[in-house]
């Protein structure tokens, strides 16, 4: 590969593709019996109607250099100041609200695993821009994707790990290798029902490196994929395990990010 050549093309415009992602072949076949409806408003004939698709806005370009929180002052972030976060940088495509929240919830809680490919297509431009911003498109920096693990008991109930589905779809879309490197040894309480300090303690000792996990390669960087970044506790614990076990740099990419007007009280 020539010096300076990008691993994958980076879009020029810093905005989501104005075109609505088209349903896949399976979606078209299933829609004969189960017509697609907008996951947010119930209208249209796709996973999102035209209006709800237009309402989705990418995370603002002004954001914290570390955790990706939208902020006019990128060097002073109340969410990561004073914290020990084990990933190098975290980026997300969209804010976790409106139609984006509906997409995530439908994927996670309604068994719509085929929605993952649609979501990745929707967020693909932002994913490419994010990886270019943090220097992952340099030809001398091989990139491997991995994802946040799910305990087997929850996976048995849900039928799949939504983070794994998103990572697989992103791997195919960007032609990047994907490895399963982490496992969740024991079940934990749902993170979305816990406060900041509780989230961190809830994960302690639960995420481990797979016995068969190997370092992806020399000069390699890992991108940890998940559906939503909320406080960064899950991403940070996964990154800690990966860094300590494999000695690699870990960056985080999520489809959505919680955007709060006020930061956590501990700050």
What is the phi-psi region of residue 69: left when phi exceeds 0, alpha when psi lies from -120 to 50, beta otherwise? beta
pLDDT for 12: 40
Work out the average pLDDT over 127-137.
82
Residue entry with tokens 């690699």: 248
Q: What is the predicted pLDDT for the residue at 1?
A: 36
Residue 184 tokens, joined: 């969740």
- Given a contact cutoff of 8 angstroms between Cβ atoms, the answer to whether 96 and 248 are in contact is no
pLDDT at position 62, please?
A: 87
Burial class, 17, CB count within 10 angstroms (exposed 0-12 / middle 13-18 / buried 19+): middle
Nearest to 120 by CA among 50, 79, 62, 169: 169
CB half-sphere exposure, 61, CA atoms < 13 A: 7
Confidence band (pLDDT; 50, 70, 90) for 73? confident
For residue 186, how many other CB atoms are within 10 A of its CB?
A: 10
Q: What is residue 201's predicted lDDT score, i.e. its pLDDT?
A: 63
Strands 207-209 vs 182-184: parallel, antiparallel or unpaired: antiparallel
Question: Which alpha helices (H) appear in 80-195, and where do they start and end?
Answer: 98-109, 115-133, 152-158, 162-174
Q: Would you list the domain boundaries of the chain?
A: 25-257
Whether residue 99 is predicted with pLDDT greater than 50 in this model: the reply is yes
Beta strands in 6-141 (DSSP E): 90-95
Q: Which range scores top for mean pLDDT: 94-108, 120-134, 211-225?
A: 94-108
Mean pLDDT of 149-172: 93
pLDDT given for residue 44 in this prediction: 76
Strand partners, 252: 90, 224
Q: How confident is the model at residue 76 (pLDDT cuts 50, 70, 90)?
A: confident
pLDDT of residue 170: 96
The set of residues, in sequence order, having a beta carbon less than 8 Å from that of 33 and lying 6+ positions away, is none
- Give the chain's mean pLDDT: 81
| 202-220: pLDDT as tens digits | 667 789 999 888 777 655 7
pLDDT at 126 over 60: yes
Q: Tell whether the model's pLDDT for residue 75 goes beyond 80.
A: no
């Amino acid at each position: 590969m020539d010096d300076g050549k990008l691993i994958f093309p980076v879009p020029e415009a810093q905005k989501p593709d104005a075109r609505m992602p088209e349903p896949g072949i399976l979606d078209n076949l299933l829609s004969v019996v189960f017509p697609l409806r907008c996951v947010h408003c119930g209208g249209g004939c796709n996973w999102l109607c035209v209006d709800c698709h237009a309402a989705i806005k990418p995370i603002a370009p002004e954001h914290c250099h570390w955790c990706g929180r939208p902020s006019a002052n990128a060097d002073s972030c109340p969410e990561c100041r004073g914290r020990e976060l084990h990933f190098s940088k975290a980026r997300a495509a969209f804010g976790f609200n409106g139609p984006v929240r509906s997409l995530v919830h439908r994927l996670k809680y309604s068994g719509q695993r085929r929605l993952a490919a649609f979501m990745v297509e929707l967020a693909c431009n932002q994913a490419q821009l994010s990886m270019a911003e943090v220097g992952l498109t340099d030809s001398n920096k091989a990139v491997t994707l991995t994802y946040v693990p799910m305990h087997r008991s929850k996976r048995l109930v849900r039928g799949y790990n939504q983070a794994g589905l998103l990572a697989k779809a992103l791997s195919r879309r960007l032609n990047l290798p994907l490895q399963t490197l982490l496992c969740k040894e024991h079940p934990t309480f749902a993170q979305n029902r816990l406060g900041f300090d509780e989230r961190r303690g809830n994960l302690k000792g639960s995420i481990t490196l797979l016995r068969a996990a190997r370092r992806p390669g020399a000069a390699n960087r890992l991108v940890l994929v998940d559906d939503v970044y909320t406080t960064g506790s899950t991403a940070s614990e996964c990154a800690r395990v990966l860094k300590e076990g494999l000695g690699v740099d870990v960056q985080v990419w999520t489809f959505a990010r919680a955007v709060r007007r006020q930061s956590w009280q501990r700050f």
